[in-house]
């Protein structure tokens, strides 16, 4: 009976692992609750009308169509039984495994304020992105028809909570949208008067970057008309306002980019987890007491040189690659590879049109050149010629025409009134 590897989650870690198992002589079943692999690093551009959903997501089956050893299942996993070695699916059926790989990613965390989610959506899925896009665009529409000036101003006020890369990237494009793309299209309002707040509880933006890059990012955002508020915790979020410290600000659009929480894999496994819910794994990325169970990516707590590995796409891919090499070594009866070591390839973030920051440790870069390098790097990482073409054309076109191509409002509001 062929060795059966069950992989839950087709993100960067899971997909990389499956690719790494090509020709390894095992059967692979890849389970995901969505039908597509998502290129999350560009999700904020879908939310901000620069890209379409179809340009950064690919049907998992299509990506793996030439892998007869791989079966793809669209299903939600509800539990794992490590004794009988079975994964339970939502529809009640079970899938038995010889080796289990959990790479189920993370969701945004509201630090004990889950009631904020309806009014402050985070950005992890395509649905999150289209929800945020709809709210951004509807806010300008409501301002255009508002008779009450206070209502108009509240609709022209945007709060982005969290000063990490995602928050910085969102704030930069929202500012470009208000100042460069929309002005000519509205008659009653001047979209350039929109107030865009980037709110960070910590002392500076991009805390994982070098301080001088944080300063550059803050200055670049302020030049674009973004109000950068550091050292200010958000104490309350509701449909009508956001409270910064003790100062309430009327605001109709809030985006959450502040924190993440690992998926419930730890509960499924009954395994030890860190405060963010990430499963503690050993240097071979398996449970200490169960070498048949790997946990990868944002779902796992791994350390290199005593520092936890960050939740970045390259880290997830490296873990997928490594876990594949461990499984291959076991199947071939070869000695296991050396313990996993994360190789940090640096941090990148864009700050809207023609500005970005790159921190490769020794090599640091800001401005237009960094933006072009960032863009070319990301196009390289997309799957397939079509997506690379589409994204490249979109970026070049919006760079030249100052127009954003993905501006459709679709789907009704859910989760909150109006």
Interface positions with its own copies (CB under 8 A): 34-36, 52-54, 57, 59, 61-62, 64-66, 68, 71-75, 89, 91, 93, 126-127, 130, 137-138, 141, 144-145, 147, 184-188, 386, 389-390, 393, 397, 403, 405-412, 414
Tokens read off for 118? 């309806």
**Known catalytic residue at 169:** yes
CA 141 to chain centroid, in Å, comes to 27
Q: Find out whether 137 and 253 touch, Cβ atoms under 8 Å.
A: no
Cα–Cα distance, 340 to 232 (Å, whole number) = 38
Task: Give the CA angle between residues 312, 206, 15 to the nearest 5°.
Answer: 10
Q: Report, in Å, the least distance between residue 62 CB and its own copies.
A: 6
- Determine contact, residues 297/319, Cβ cutoff 8 Å: yes
CA distances from 301 to 243, 281, 308, 309, 329 (A): 33, 6, 7, 7, 23
Secondary structure class of 214 (helix, strand, coil): helix
CB closer to its own copies out of 275 and 412:
412
Rank residues 81 and 141 by Cβ distance to its own copies and give the closer one.
141
Nearer to its own copies, 129 or 326 (CB): 129
Alpha-carbon gap, residue 101 to 266, rounded angstroms: 13
Whether 298 contacts 274, CB under 8 Å:
no
Q: How far is the CB of 90 from its own copies (least distance, A)?
A: 10
**Gap between the Cα atoms of 237 and 239, Å rounded:** 7
Cβ-contact 9, 125 below 8 angstroms: no
CA distances to 40, 181, 260, 310 from 381, in Å: 11, 28, 24, 19
C-alpha pair distances (Å), 109 with each of 10, 49, 162, 259, 262: 21, 25, 12, 5, 9
> Nearest distance from residue 28's CB to its own copies, in Å?
11
Kindly tell me which of 291 and 405 has the beta carbon lying closer to its own copies.
405
- Residue of 111, 82, 110 whose CA lies nearest to 97: 82
Using the minimum distance from each CB to its own copies, give the nearer residue, 138 or 243.
138
Contact 407, 46 (CB under 8 A): no
Closest approach, Cβ 48 to its own copies, in A, equals 14
Q: Give the nearest distance from C-beta 35 to its own copies in angstroms.
A: 4
Catalytic residue among 55, 144, 169, 222: 169
Measured from the CB atom, the residue of 66 and 363 that comes closer to its own copies is 66
182/196 with CB nearer its own copies:
182
Closest distance of CB 253 from its own copies, Å: 15
* The dihedral sign for the CA sequence 17, 20, 23, 26: negative
Least distance to its own copies from the beta carbon of 110, Å? 21
Distance CA 288, CA 280 (A): 8
Minimal distance, residue 406 CB to its own copies, in Å = 5
Q: Between 42 and 390, whose beta carbon lies closer to its own copies?
A: 390
Beta-bridge partners for 247:
244
Residues marked active site are found at 169
């Amino acid at each position: 009976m062929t060795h059966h590897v069950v992989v839950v989650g087709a993100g960067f870690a899971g997909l990389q692992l499956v690719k790494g198992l090509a020709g390894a002589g095992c059967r692979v079943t890849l389970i995901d609750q969505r039908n597509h692999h998502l290129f999350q690093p560009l999700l904020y551009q879908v939310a901000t009308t620069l890209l379409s959903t179809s340009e950064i997501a690919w049907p998992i089956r299509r990506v793996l169509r030439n892998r007869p050893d791989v079966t793809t299942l669209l299903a939600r996993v509800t539990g794992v039984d490590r004794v009988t070695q079975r994964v339970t699916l939502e529809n009640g059926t079970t899938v038995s495994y010889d080796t289990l790989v959990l790479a189920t990613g993370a969701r945004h965390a509201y630090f004990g304020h889950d009631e904020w989610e309806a009014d402050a959506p985070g950005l992890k899925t395509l649905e999150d992105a289209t929800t945020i896009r709809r709210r951004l665009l509807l806010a300008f529409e409501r301002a255009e028809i508002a008779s009450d000036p206070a209502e108009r101003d509240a609709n022209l006020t945007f709060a982005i909570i969290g000063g990490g890369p995602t928050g910085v990237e969102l704030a930069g494009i929202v500012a470009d949208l208000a100042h460069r793309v929309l002005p000519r299209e509205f008659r009653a309002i001047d979209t350039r008067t929109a107030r865009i707040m980037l709110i960070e509880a910590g002392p500076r933006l991009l805390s994982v970057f070098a301080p001088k890059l944080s300063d550059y990012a803050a200055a670049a955002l302020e030049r674009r008309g973004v109000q950068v508020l550091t050292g200010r915790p958000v104490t309350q979020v509701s449909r009508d306002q956001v409270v910064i410290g003790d100062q309430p600000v009327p605001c109709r659009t809030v985006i959450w980019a502040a924190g993440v929480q690992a998926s419930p894999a730890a509960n499924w496994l009954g395994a030890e987890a860190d405060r963010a819910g990430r499963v503690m794994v050993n240097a071979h990325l398996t449970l200490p007491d169960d070498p048949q169970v790997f946990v990868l990516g944002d779902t796992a707590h791994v350390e290199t040189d005593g520092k936890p590995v960050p939740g970045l796409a390259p880290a997830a891919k490296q873990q997928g690659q490594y876990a594949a090499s461990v499984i291959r070594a076991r199947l071939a009866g070869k000695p296991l590879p050396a313990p996993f070591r994360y190789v940090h390839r640096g941090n990148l973030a864009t700050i809207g049109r023609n500005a970005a920051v790159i921190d490769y440790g020794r090599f640091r870069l800001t401005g237009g050149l960094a933006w072009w390098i960032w863009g070319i790097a990301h196009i390289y990482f997309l799957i397939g010629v079509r997506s690379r073409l589409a994204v490249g054309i979109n970026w070049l076109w919006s760079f030249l025409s100052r127009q954003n191509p993905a501006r459709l409002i679709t789907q009704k509001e859910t989760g909150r009134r109006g």
